[in-house]
């Protein structure tokens, strides 16, 4: 029986969670984005549980915020996400994360990656509602009753036929809320996200449901709320492309960040990663610029100009030269 409080109760709506993004949304990036504002909680990249209970250092690597009371410096809670298929092992790792101070534990049933699915984790488990229920039940039992356990799922593996059954299986396992990325594994990241399916699920479970997928603008956030019936949103790529998207959604009077402010963020990110080699760093910055540029012609222009740069100096020399608009 859960005895804590849900994070949504005291916050203004819409509530906005920053989506977990493996290989991209690490502690450094979470610091930058939560410092801008408009984000109510974050979720770590998934920790893949296969054979062991991880030592503390693994949890600290994925969630350096554990050393800061489980929050970023801006005070935004960071939930720890686990991925795997072994109920008892997941439960033991969840208990350990909770002991280290995780504000909540999230279970991943959405990852489409082949390597992950081969080792029976992520979206492949959406074919087995009973197993989802077992995992949720075991993890819930192992985690102290005041710490929430949540899950994140897609609408299905190949089709949506088990969407409601899977959500109910997780809810009956005792989780506190469910995030739904409104696409099947087969649909990958191809638009659209089927927001109205979130409403179908919401009507069939008694727990809060966070709506996720294809929110890039305040207009899409409002449309998603309308179609899903939920004012609890999770946003991933949209917040990478537009770091102040949370503020824009929550406050129509917010003045959008300028191109120069966005470029300054890139520099801050680079300065926060002094230990990376030039190639690692420029790859990282280009990965961010790629998302930035998806919805901004100005950023596309910047991206085109730095694409071939392999050194820190070269990269920032290009950024410092006047941008031709």
Non-local (6+) Cβ contacts of 128 within 8 A are none
Q: Closer to ligand FMN at the Cβ: 118 or 146?
A: 118
In angstroms, give the least distance from the CB of 320 to ligand FMN.
28
For residue 112, what are the CA distances in angstroms to 115, 131, 136?
9, 18, 20
Beta strand segments in the chain, E: 15-18, 41-43, 47-48, 78-83, 105-109, 149-156, 177-184, 209-212, 232-235
Q: Which stretch binds ligand FMN (CB under 6 A): 6-14, 33-41, 90-98, 229-237?
A: 229-237
Q: Closer to ligand FMN at the Cβ: 214 or 309?
A: 214
Alpha-carbon span 1 to 71, nearest angstrom: 25
Of the candidate residues 205, 215, 265, 281, the single one contacting ligand FMN (CB under 6 A): 215
User: Cβ distance 165 to 193 under 8 Å?
Assistant: no
Q: Which stretch binds ligand FMN (CB under 6 A): 18-26, 131-139, 264-272, 316-324?
A: 18-26
76 part of the interface to ligand FMN, by CB under 6 A: no
Q: Closer to ligand FMN at the Cβ: 41 or 152?
A: 152
Alpha-carbon span 185 to 122, nearest angstrom: 9
Of the candidate residues 79, 237, 250, 284, the single one contacting ligand FMN (CB under 6 A): 237
* 166-185 residues near ligand FMN, rule: CB under 6 A: 181
Active-site residue (options: 42, 71, 111, 224): 111
Of the candidate residues 85, 176, 199, 212, the single one contacting ligand FMN (CB under 6 A): 212
Non-local (6+) Cβ contacts of 261 within 8 A are none
Alpha-carbon span 112 to 158, nearest angstrom: 11
Encoded tokens for 205: 């479970």
- x/- site string to ligand FMN, residues 140 to 169, per CB under 6 A? ------------x-----------------
22 part of the interface to ligand FMN, by CB under 6 A: yes
Alpha-carbon span 157 to 111, nearest angstrom: 10
Q: Closer to ligand FMN at the Cβ: 20 or 148?
A: 20
Residue whose token pair is 């906005």? 16
**Residue 224 annotated in active site:** no
Q: Closer to ligand FMN at the Cβ: 24 or 36?
A: 24
User: Cβ distance 39 to 18 under 8 Å?
Assistant: yes
Q: Which stretch binds ligand FMN (CB under 6 A): 15-23, 126-134, 140-148, 220-228?
A: 15-23
User: Cβ distance 173 to 136 under 8 Å?
Assistant: yes
Other Cβ atoms closer than 10 A to 119: 17
108 part of the interface to ligand FMN, by CB under 6 A: yes
Q: What amino acid positions are annotated as catalytic residues?
A: 111
Chain residues in the site for ligand FMN (CB under 6 A):
19-24, 45-46, 81, 108, 110-111, 152, 181, 212-215, 235-238
């Amino acid at each position: 029986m859960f005895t804590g409080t849900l994070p949504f109760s005291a916050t203004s709506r819409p509530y906005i969670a920053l989506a977990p993004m493996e290989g991209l949304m690490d502690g450094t990036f979470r610091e930058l984005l939560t410092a801008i504002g408009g984000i109510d909680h974050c979720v770590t990249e998934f920790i893949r549980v296969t054979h062991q209970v991880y030592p503390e250092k693994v949890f600290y690597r994925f969630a350096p915020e554990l050393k800061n009371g489980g929050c970023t410096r801006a005070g935004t809670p960071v939930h720890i996400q686990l991925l795997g298929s072994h109920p008892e092992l997941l439960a033991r790792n969840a208990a350990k994360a909770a002991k280290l101070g995780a504000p909540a534990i999230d279970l991943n049933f959405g990852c489409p990656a082949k390597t992950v699915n081969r080792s029976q984790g992520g979206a492949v488990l959406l074919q087995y509602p009973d197993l989802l229920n077992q995992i949720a039940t075991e993890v819930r039992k192992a985690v102290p009753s005041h710490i929430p356990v949540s899950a994140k799922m897609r609408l299905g593996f190949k089709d949506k036929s088990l969407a409601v059954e899977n959500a109910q299986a997780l809810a009956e396992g005792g989780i506190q809320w469910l995030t739904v990325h409104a696409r099947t594994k087969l649909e990958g990241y191809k638009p659209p996200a089927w927001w109205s399916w979130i409403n179908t699920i919401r009507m069939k479970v008694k727990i809060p449901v966070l709506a996720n997928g294809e929110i890039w603008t305040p207009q899409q956030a409002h449309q998603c709320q309308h179609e899903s019936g939920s004012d609890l949103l999770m946003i991933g790529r949209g917040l990478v492309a537009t770091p102040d998207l949370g503020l824009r959604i929550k406050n129509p009077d917010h003045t959008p960040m300028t191109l120069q402010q966005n470029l300054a963020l890139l520099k801050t990110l680079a300065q926060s990663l002094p230990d990376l080699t030039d190639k690692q760093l420029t790859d990282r910055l280009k990965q961010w610029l790629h998302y930035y540029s998806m919805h901004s012609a100005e950023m596309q222009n910047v991206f085109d100009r730095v694409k071939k740069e392999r050194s820190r100096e070269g990269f920032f020399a290009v950024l410092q030269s006047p941008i031709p608009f």
